[in-house]
Amino acid sequence: MKNGRRYRNSFFHPIGLGDKNEEYKVMHQNWDMKTLNTIVKKLNHTKYAIDYVKIDIGHNEWKVCIRMLLDQELDRIKQLAIEIHTRLYHTNNAITVTDFFIMHKCLDGIEKAGFKLFSSKMHKGKVWKDEWDEQDISCCYKLHYINTKFISTNYKPFPKVDHSNLVRFKMKG
């Protein structure tokens, strides 16, 4: 995939979000994986806040989340949407104590960074009954956070955009 304008104010950059800077093969295609810190620098957005980050990277979100916390990149993000996956997403292996520790550190770190959860939804793709209390459980959940500590004085707003020519879409349902 090539760089390019997708919409009037939307650009695609063929860069994968990772916990380290490396080449990574995904479905027979090489991807340039970069940390958020590196992506922000590469795109020359170091002085700008990021309005919205959505992460759905199939169980790799835990390593990426820890890297963003270590790099303090969450400080520049106003809203964060993250689809979390447990080990059960890819395998039928049991979740280990180490898995729980990493997941807890990540989610706790997001909250300690000033984010508050305002929406959570169970992903309906893989759902089963818990053997102990018959409740529906899933390997995947969609979490939406807002950064309550965000102070825009450290970042410049993006230049004003003329939205008068944008096409409006109406959702049914």
Quote the pLDDT of residue 88. Answer: 62
H-only helix segments in 71-149? 97-112
Please say if the pLDDT value at position 172 is more than 90.
no
In the predicted model, is pLDDT for residue 165 greater than 70?
Answer: no
Collect all residues with Cβ–Cβ distance below 8 Å to 134 and sequence separation of at least 6: none
Comparison of pLDDT for 96 and 102, the residue scoring more: 102
Residue 20 has pLDDT above 60, yes or no: yes
CA distance 50 to 52: 6
Res 169: pLDDT: 45
Query: CA torsion sign, 108 to 114 to 116 to 120?
Result: negative
How far apart CA 140 and CA 61 sit, in angstroms, is 12
pLDDT for 6 beyond 50: yes
- Is the pLDDT confidence value at 161 over 60? no
Q: How many other CB atoms are there within 10 angstroms of residue 117's CB atom?
A: 13
Percent of the chain scored above 90 by pLDDT? 36
So what's the pLDDT on residue 14?
81
Average pLDDT on 126-137 reads 75
Is pLDDT above 50 for 17? Answer: yes
Beta bridge partners of 122: 141
- Structure-token match 């760089």, residue found: 3
Average pLDDT over residues 151-167: 53
Average pLDDT, rounded, for the chain = 80
pTM of full prediction above 0.85: no
C-alpha–C-alpha distance, residues 93 and 100, integer Å: 13
Long-range contacts, 7-15 (Cβ 8 Å, 24+)? 7/166, 8/161, 8/165, 8/166, 9/161, 13/39, 13/43, 15/39, 15/42
pLDDT tops 60 at residue 83? yes
Amino acid at 22: E
